[in-house]
Amino acid sequence: MTTNCPWSSYTQATVSFCEAQICNIIVKPAEAWSNVGYVLFGIYIIHRCQRELNKHLLILGIVGVLLGIGSGIFHATGTFFGEYLDVSGMFLYVVMGIVFATRRLFKIKFSLMIPLFIFLQILCMSLLWFIKPIGITLFGLLFTGVLILELALYKRDRNIIDYKYFFLFIGTFGIALAVWLLDIFKIWCDPNNHYFSGHSFWHLVTSLSFYFNYQFLKQIPELRK
């Protein structure tokens, strides 16, 4: 990117994927447009929550919308500010998973869920602000934490809760992660393809995981009260 491009005067992002930046308002079109999946699934989940009286899961839909907007800004601008919004949205998703699983496994009071959520989110966003390259690593650690907690819950609850949608959630996420790795390590990579990329695939498939997560979480009575 040359110095006279729209976003070149801003602090640039710490991470870059396969698609080459172009000197335009939207620097990575393929990576930017594919975030529409998060927004659409988020809106769909909000609608389902209202129709099915699952208002306790509205946060899942809201997180989807916020993640789509933040990630869209990141890939449209290539700036650290956009990256900060994107990764903060990713933190929202996994912090929500940590809090939900903690509520179920350790029987924390329902009234403590929101303060715990806010504390963990602020902590993660603060670490990202002061240690800029930490985003992907911290997200990976939090996601691993969710899996560990959920494994403990699976051993306890597998006979009373249908884990089909959870495994679909993990499966779609795993497939998306494999393609994410191919993209970032330039194995599946055409830098000049501004229509679709490995990272576009990551966005679209992980947005589907929001639907599977909703189908799984709506079964769990502890999250209602």
Q: Are 80 and 12 in contact (CB under 8 A)?
A: yes
Which segments of the chain have a pLDDT < 50? 1
Residue 180's Cα: distance from chain center in Å? Answer: 13
* 52: helix, strand or coil: coil
| Averaged pLDDT of the chain | 96
Phi, psi (deg, nearest 5) at residue 79: -100, 160
Per-residue pLDDT at 225: 78
* Phi and psi torsions of 12, nearest 5°: -80, 155
Lookup: tokens for 25 = 């308002």
Residue 177 identity:
L
Q: Which residue has the tokens 């099915």?
A: 52
Angle at 69 (CA atoms; ends 124, 57), nearest 5 degrees = 70
What is the model's pTM?
Answer: 0.95
Tokens representing residue 159 in the block:
């006979």
**Nearest-angstrom CA–CA distance, 149 and 151:** 5
Instruction: Give the SS3 label for residue 15.
Output: coil
Amino acid at 156: R
